[in-house]
Structure 1
Amino acid sequence: MKQQLNGQPDLAMVRQLNDTFRHTFCGGRLVMTRSIADLPEDDQATLLEQVRTFSAFTRANDPHGEHDFGSFVHGDVKYFWKIDYYDADGVYGSDNRADPLVTTRVLTIMRADEY
């Protein structure tokens, strides 16, 4: 995988992989906290759609340009979603989050008060 001069993973590739995963829910693992899993299916579907279509990235919520975090309100509750990067076995942190061969993406959806 392409590396930047400073040894950090290619952020454009990280962003592309995160966006693809978030839009399709393919290429990683999707996790819902218990409070999300306990919601009615219609509410879960709405939350998944909010995550899938999220596009309100700013310097404040995406300072590194990776598209790995977002928040939104459904009803009167604030929700977060977050993508974390693990090794291929899902045990340790990934050595290169821009390389899908060595990285397992985990997208977690939670209530903001669970963070």
Structure 2
Amino acid sequence: MSDIANAPMRRRIRVLNDFFRATFMGGKIVITAGVSGLPLDVKARALIEVQRFTDFNAGNDPHDEHDFGSFDLAGETFFWKIDYYDALCQFGSEDPADPEKTTRVLTLMLAQEC
């Protein structure tokens, strides 16, 4: 399928990802062990940074889905990533543009954990 034909699907995925990221509604949030070990105020500020993130560009968002970001906070570099699973979170979603078939999972991690 061409990029032009995929554009409406990418746009729908991007809207769903932006809503989920900004509200944390419509999916699951996972934090890694490194993030979990940080002080409570740093974890809270990091989650707020994820919700406020808007610095999408060709380097960090090549598919234009708004599914990845990074930022610096409290001397740490954080990454976050949205993945698409089926409704039971057992397999990848067959259609990430369909919220009835997809569970979005946002993982917040320290860059050093990658």
TM-score using structure 1 length: 0.91
Deviations along 1:45-95, one digit per CA (max 9) or x if unpaired, are: 100011000000000000010000000001221110000000011010000
Matches within 5 A, 1:69-88: 69-88=68-87
Matches within 5 A, 1:1-115: 10-115=9-114
Q: CA deviation at 1:9?
A: 7.2
TM-score using structure 2 length: 0.92
User: Considering only aligned residues, what root-mean-square deviation do their CA atoms show, in Å?
Assistant: 1.7
Q: Which segments of structure 1 move beyond 3 Å, counting only runs of 4 or more?
A: 4-9
Q: Which amino acid aligns with 1:40?
A: P
Alpha-carbon distance in 2 for matches of 1:107, 1:81: 7
Q: Which amino acid aligns with 2:109?
A: M
The secondary structure found in structure 2 opposite 1:10 is: helix
- Contact kept? 2:46, 2:73, Cα under 8 Å: yes
Q: Which runs of 5+ in 2 are unaligned?
A: none
Deviations along 1:1-32, one digit per CA (max 9) or x if unpaired, are: xxx87578701110000000000001000000
The secondary structure found in structure 2 opposite 1:81 is: strand
Structure showing the higher helix proportion among its residues:
2
Name the % identity. 49
Q: How many residues align?
A: 112
The secondary structure found in structure 2 opposite 1:42 is: helix
